Structure 1
Amino acid sequence: MFLSRGLFNVGTTIVKILNMGECISVRVFLMFLALISYLIALTFNILALFGPWTGAFMQTTQYVLSKSTTHLTPDRWVLFLWDVLNIWLIGMFIYLIHNLRRREAYTWMYTTPAVLPYGFYLSWIVNSVLNMAWLFLYDKDFCVCHRKMVPTLLITALQAISNCVIIMFSCYGLVVYGAWLHKYHNNDLWLIRILVQNGVALYATWWAVATFLHLTVVLDHQTPIPKTDAAIMVLVLLQLGLIGWFVIENWYLDKHVRYILTVYPVVILVLAASVANPATPGTHIDIMSAVILAITSVIFIVRIVMVLWKHKNKPFYGEEELMSPVDIARTQKLIFM
């Protein structure tokens, strides 16, 4: 119901935009290009589920996954996160396109303030291209022979990095325009935090975890390292990465990422699915995974408590005099506009 109504509003907005010449701009073009690239990538992801029947892929995604099982491979039920992720991101695009028909005292809302700069949409387009490249490489090379696993691993890591770049641009936009949004459009401030920042963070964490899982496969098939040792190595790296991120987000990047909370739930669910996977042999790896799962859960609870405390006792915005969005935009470099 929500999606059908949202898609109808998107269609209505597109028609209105086409009838308003002053609304057409590079930003609108990039926004729709980002949406189209995302929908194309999503379509190929769906086609990959059906494999040879589509004519585009040699095997189904499930078959490929079954051929690359490691001690850390999660159970299939965790794939519901992919559905949640796509619904979240579609909701984000519906919100962004809806803003195209909203007008402020200065000009159109999507241009002033341009909370999501050009770099946000350009990074999104690059990410969608990487997603499609990963699908075809994973299908045609990865599962036929294990010679192409390193390029697949690199593309997986690049997807995670490109998502981090997308988050960076969204965080920068809120640092620049957050005080103005807080005063005049507080609902939009929270919608950007929830739909954009947390949605992309969910996406980025998914691919970051996928990078660790791919690394396990590479270590299993292309190095003499025993599979158990490879799994332990990857789990240690994952735990160190989580602890490092916890320190960075709370003490160094707080003003940028304070309200991003979707990182730890993804890791928790993937670790839980890894422990619960009946296809992986029961070893002490499961015990280690369970310990890291418990530590991550505690970190997540502490993170929520810290965010709530800081929100009440250390708010970002006061009653200082604000520059207009037009004046702020004049101080920004092109990629951040």
Structure 2
Amino acid sequence: MKSRSAISAFFAAVISGLIWILVAVAGVIENSGGAWSQDVRNVFFRNRSYSLMRKWMIDVTPTAWSLCIWEFIYTWNTLWVVYCVCITCRPVSDKISTGDTVICSVNAFPPLFHWLWGLCGASHLAWFFFWDREILVGSVFFQVFVVAACIGCLYVSYTSVDRNGALLQSCYPWDLWVCRTLVQNGIAMLCTWSAILFLINVASILTYHGAIPSSVSSLGVIIVIAVTLVSWFILDTFVLDRWVRYTFAVYPVIGWGSLSMLVQHFQPWTNSTIITLCIFGLSCLIFIIRVPLVVWKSFSHPLYMSHTLPHVVRQALPKIPSPNQPDPTASTVL
């Protein structure tokens, strides 16, 4: 019999998974261009995303082709959502089971993680329709919820993986690497791109409704992105390495966004262009440096070495005799 925590995680995973599937389907419909899907699209949406971006354009509005990143984000996150739902249906482990307690799979993705992800998906759906109806303030409001829910999901995932890292590494290494690669990078990707669009939409509101020049509001967006990039690199490398070592997605997403801004609004020797070019170069440089750095750290400073496995797990794991101690199961020849 599964524990109550496992049942709660199952329902939370299924509900949040269904919400995310709705988000992915809505995103595909919104960006569809084929004739067969045009009628379906017109039922739910009134405008195309980039037509609205052109209508509310400022000096940092990205290009149309940059929005194809949404398909990548939807695909990446759908993969781990399906995986999470599947592992909550996984039977009791034959490696570690005492009574009705399953230790590994539930702790990797606790119920709070799934509920926060469901909040993220619901907020993303609401943002879709508010933005489509040109309710700018409402859309920005829900974008805040998307970013905040993503940060909450990442916090729960990082702390859960760190707390159960030794256990996962010993018994469920596949779950551990799914958390590191698919889950944490997928959520970080969604969080970063949503935050960039949030800043651009806030600047658009200030420009069109606050009578602030586009050059000023756009420069503010670029400065915030630059400060965030440098701050995250410092925290990522020197402060939060224990938790976020394998999260790479922030840098390529920022590089993608800054490249699209450069292509759309390149004006030599202007402050905005110079700072955006620096952001693009720095994000690429950090990503190139960080990959071999993490590989080196994985061998020289592996994680979870100071963690202690629970007593139940140590008993369940196979016993390896010491080199100086004879194997008690071996037969003795006189």
Q: Deviations 1:167-212 (Å, cap 9, x if unpaired)?
A: 1111111011111111222232112211111111111111111112
Q: Secondary structure at the match of 1:69?
A: coil
Q: Which structure has the higher relative contact order (CA within 8 Å, separation 6+)?
A: 1
Which residue matches 2:166? Answer: 179
Distance 1:98 1:274, change over 3 A: same
* Structure 2: unaligned runs, 5 residues or longer: 33-37, 315-334
Q: Which consecutive unaligned segments of at least 5 residues does structure 1 have? A: 1-19, 143-147, 328-337
2:59–2:215 Cα contact (<8 Å) kept: yes
- Distance in 2 (CA, whole Å) between partners of 1:219 and 1:28 is 43
Q: CA deviation at 1:109?
A: 6.2
Cα–Cα, structure 1 residues 47 and 314, in superposed 2: closer, same or farther, change >3 Å? same
Q: Alpha-carbon deviation of 1:128? A: 1.2
1:33 is aligned to 2:15: yes
Q: TM-score, normalised by structure 2?
A: 0.81
Structure 2 residue 286 is matched with structure 1 residue 304: no
Determine the C-alpha separation between the residues in 2 that align with 1:80 and 1:110.
Answer: 39
Structure 2: which amino acid aligns with 1:194? T
Measured at CA, do residues 316 and 34 of structure 1 come closer, stay the same or move farther in structure 2, by a change above 3 Å? Answer: same
Separation in 2, partners of 1:237, 1:137: 25
Aligned length: 300
- C-alpha separation in 1, matches of 2:254 and 2:91: 37
1:295–1:303 CA distance, 2 compared to 1 (3 A)? same
Q: 2:122 aligns with which of 129, 136, 147?
A: 129
- Aligned partner of 1:43 among 6, 22, 25: 25
Q: In percent, how many aligned pairs have the same letter?
A: 22
Distance 1:314 1:218, change over 3 A: same
What residue is the counterpart of 1:85 in the other structure?
73
Who is 1:255 aligned against?
A: 242
Is 2:94 the partner of 1:76? no
TM-score when normalising by structure 1 = 0.80
Superimposed CA distance per residue, residues 261-295 of structure 1 (whole angstroms, 9 cap, x where no aligned partner)? 11100010111111112xx4736233331122112
Separation of aligned partners in 2, 1:47 and 1:291: 35
1:113–1:325: 8 Å Cα contact kept in structure 2?
no
Aligned equivalent of 2:109, options 97, 108, 116: 116
Determine the structure 1 residue equivalent to 2:90: 101
**Which residues in structure 2 correspond to 1:106-255 (within 5 Å)?**
106=97, 112-140=105-133, 142=134, 148-255=135-242
Pair 1:326–1:28, CA change in 2 (3 A): farther
Q: How far does residue 319 in structure 1 lie from its aligned partner after superposition?
A: 7.4
Instruction: Give the aligned residue type for 1:60.
Output: R
Q: Deviations over 1:27-80 (max 9, x none)?
A: 211111011111112222333346885322222223222212221111122222
